[in-house]
Amino acid sequence: MGGLAVLGTGFAVPEREITNDALAARLDTSDAWIVSRTGIRTRRVLEDASVATSHLATAAARAALARARLEPDAIDLLIVATASPDHPIPSTACLVQAELGARPVPAFDLNAACSGFVYGLTLADHALATGAARYILLVGADALTRHVDWEDRSTAVLFGDGAGAVVLGRGEGLLGVHLGSDGRRADDLRIEAGGSRHPLDAATLVTRAHKITMKGPEVFRAAVDAMADGLEAAAQRAGLRPDRLRWVFAHQANARILRGVAERLGITLAAFWMNLDRYGNTGAASIPIALAEASAAGHLQAGDLVGLTAAGAGLTWGAVILRWG
Amino acid sequence: MDELIQELRSMIAGKFKVEPERLRPETDLTVELGADSLDVVELVMAFEERLGVSIDDAEAEGVRTFGDLIALVRSKRAA
């Protein structure tokens, strides 16, 4: 039936860098502690209120379009996977569409938290397979530091901002897919206030209910299980063993999660692309940033078998197998 | 079973880089060995794999000492 092919990749991160040492200056933590606990050394953080998720998403999209040698008006469908949109409405995708000068094609946001890019790829694969679209722009973009409680050392060290984009056209399609979610685990990782249940008001500002809270151990375990089992299931559907994959692009949440996933799957950690040391957890952006970096550095060759796997708030998880190029 | 406890002991000693003999039932993983919450989770997950059993979050959260881990593994083995 066919489906997607990746025609171009791009990414963007803010200029401003906050190192572990800079965080240690205001929190009871240290560079050594953060590195040993998370693998993260530094992260990029949006500068000021004049820039937001859509600016990063637009910059990443321009880079991906340039690599694909396509103009914005070629795009038939524009999806932004994000959990930290510029506004509740309009969607960040519409802002990106306007910035790019794309045609008035369908544009919308998709929220599956850190699994959003993998969910978006699966939707795009279907849209290309059915002929609903010829070229799709899919961006994973988040500015999670806008929602970080900088007083909470257990989460403040984890996140960074960024965007990664892919331009997709028709091709072989995804070889294996596995998506899932479990809303019973909604409390594990959340931003409680700022939506229709607890609109932002003076009280929520005091309790910091508009900031990210996470049950670390529960999320850690669920992430290892979901990312390993998901990739295993997707690989099985593709008719191959995970150790055949040239690269695994796993959501860059924590080096220990990735180590756990590698051990569970019985594959070498060397097959896992790692950039969380430089960017931290960039939400839905982490996998497409990694793809763009690997591609630009020449580490992804046409024909390479690649696995993507992610897990995030919801809980959500998703994994896909594809052949690059 | 004793073999299993020995394995448990060497696994923990290796993880926290301490002499296996230092581990006593009352040894507090966090206070004495410097474990963080994820270290305990990693140990529990390693045992699940090793024993082929499933340990839920509530059981895992109750683990404070080396003795708690032994008790948890024993209860799973007996079940």
The ipTM of this complex is 0.71
CA distances from A37 to A31, A142, A221, B30 (A): 10, 23, 15, 14
Q: Which of A20, A111, A114, A254 is catalytic?
A: A114
Q: Is A87 a catalytic residue?
A: no
Each residue's pLDDT tens digit, B34-45: 888 888 888 888
CB contact under 8 A, A256 and B38: yes
Strands A212-214 and A189-191: antiparallel
Same domain, A7 and A151: yes
Same domain, A181 and A155: no
Domain boundary among A124, A155, A173: A173
Q: What is the mean pLDDT of residues A194-205?
A: 92
Residue A248: pLDDT band by 50, 70, 90 thresholds?
Answer: very high
Residue A89 has pLDDT above 80, yes or no: yes
Q: Which of A28-37, A167-176, A191-200, B64-73 has the highest mean pLDDT?
A: A167-176
Minimal CA separation from B41 to chain A, in Å? 6
Beta bridge partners of A255: none
Contacts of B45 in chain A (CB under 8 A): 221, 224, 260
Share of chain B above pLDDT 90, in %: 13
Contacts 24+ apart (CB under 8 A), B37-44: B37/A216, B37/A217, B38/A37, B38/A216, B38/A217, B38/A220, B38/A254, B38/A256, B39/B15, B40/A217, B41/A217, B41/A220, B41/A221, B42/A256, B42/A260, B42/B15, B43/B11, B43/B12, B43/B15, B43/B69, B44/A221, B44/B72
Domain boundary among A129, A144, A173: A173
Domain boundary among A153, A173, A193: A173
Contacts of A221 in chain B (CB under 8 A): 41, 44-45, 57, 60
**Residue A232's domain spans which residues?**
177-323
Minimal CA separation from B62 to chain A, in Å? 12
Same domain, A181 and A161: no
Radius of gyration of chain A (CA): 18
Q: Which of A20, A111, A254, A281 is catalytic?
A: A281
The span from the CA of A139 to the CA of A58, in Å, is 9
Same domain, A133 and A10: yes
Same domain, A275 and A163: no
The span from the CA of A272 to the CA of A205, in Å, is 39
H helix count then E strand count, chain A:
11, 13
Same domain, A153 and A182: no
Same domain, A255 and A144: no
Least confident stretch, A19-28, A33-42, A276-285, B14-23:
B14-23
Same domain, A190 and A282: yes
Q: Which of A20, A210, A251, A254 is catalytic?
A: A251
Q: What is the mean pLDDT of residues A104-113?
A: 98
Q: Is A281 a catalytic residue?
A: yes
Same domain, A132 and A188: no
Mean pLDDT of chain A: 96
Residue B1: pLDDT band by 50, 70, 90 thresholds?
Answer: low
Residue A43 has pLDDT above 80, yes or no: yes
Contacts of B61 in chain A (CB under 8 A): 217
Same domain, A197 and A267: yes
Same domain, A133 and A202: no
Could you give all domains of chain B from N- to C-terminal order, each with its CATH number? Answer: 2-78 (1.10.1200.10)
| A221 → closest Cβ in B36, B45, B49 | B45
- Specify the pLDDT at position A1: 63
Residue B79: pLDDT band by 50, 70, 90 thresholds?
Answer: low
* Number of domains composing chain A: 2
- Specify the pLDDT at position B2: 78
CATH code of the domain in which A185 resides: 3.40.47.10
The span from the CA of A325 to the CA of A313, in Å, is 31
Q: What is the mean pLDDT of residues A250-262?
A: 95
